[in-house]
Amino acid sequence: RPGAAQWVPPGADLEQLRRAAPDCRGCELWEPATQVVFSAGAPDARMVLVGEQPGDQEDRRGVPFVGPAGRLLQKAVAEAGIDLATTYVTNAVKHFRFTQEAPGKRRIHASPDVAHVTACRPWLAAELVQVDPEVVVCLGATAAKALLPKDFRVTKHRGQLFTLPTSLGEKRFLGTIHPSAVLRTPEAERDAAYAALVADLRTAATALG
């Protein structure tokens, strides 16, 4: 795995990054996937939301967070008092990783390995430099692995604002659960899990100047 660096044009703006991403061969995930899923949202967003990787529907449509997890995220963002139009949404890994028993069978989500996160990180790093947001929200452990300190644990540190050094100076970061984790929560606890996600997003919004 060479990693994405050689496919990321230096100094490129977001549109140039978006146009370059389909050529990436930084890891093997490009091959079985339908297409690269880059990002959505405002280039001058004050808040960046980082997910794990595109899901089945995102892979087919080429747009992040358009499936069930995306709908839940949009609802939670709105409920946290954040204008979705002021956010930029992307993923730690830009190609859908899945298993499939046979061609035409259902494609089942497979979590990316740390190696995929590492391979894909040059895209995310370039996006963050271009968007230059006030706060970055990591949705779930994969996004946290891409951007937060090694000892970060979602269970222990979720909902806490961190100030971390970046190439653009100090930035605020917050990790929380992934919206898919809310969807997977047993029904009796799902409302509480959703409310906790909304509460964490509200905390992230307090970092907006």
Which stretches of the chain bind ligand SF4, using CB under 6 A? Answer: 4, 21, 24-27, 29-30, 36, 93-95, 116, 119-120, 123
For ligand URA, which stretch binds (CB under 6 A), given 60-68, 111-119, 154-162, 199-207? 60-68
Task: Sheet containing 39-41: give its strands across.
Answer: 39-41, 87-91, 47-51, 135-139, 169-176, 161-166
CB distance 168 to 206 below 8 Å: no
Indicate the SS3 state at residue 157: helix
Please say which residue, 2 or 142, places its beta carbon nearer to ligand URA: 142
Residue 51 near which of ligand SF4, ligand URA, none (CB within 5-8 Å, type-dependent): ligand URA
The mark string for 163-192 relative to ligand URA (x by CB under 6 A, - otherwise) is -----------------x------------
Q: Which of 41, 64, 112, 133 binds ligand URA (CB under 6 A)?
A: 64
Which amino acid belongs to residue 191? D
Please say which residue, 41 or 54, places its beta carbon nearer to ligand URA: 54
> Contacts with ligand URA: how many residues (CB under 6 A)?
13
DSSP assignment letter at 149: -
- Decide: is 41 part of the binding site for ligand URA (CB under 6 A): no
Distance CA 201, CA 65 (A): 16
Distance CA 163, CA 134 (A): 11
Please say which residue, 98 or 123, places its beta carbon nearer to ligand SF4: 123
CB distance 45 to 88 below 8 Å: yes
Spatial CA neighbour of 177 closest among 150, 191, 159, 160: 159
Which position's Cβ is nearest ligand URA? 51
Summarize as ranges the residues that interact with ligand URA (CB under 6 A). Answer: 51-55, 58, 64-65, 67, 69-70, 91, 180
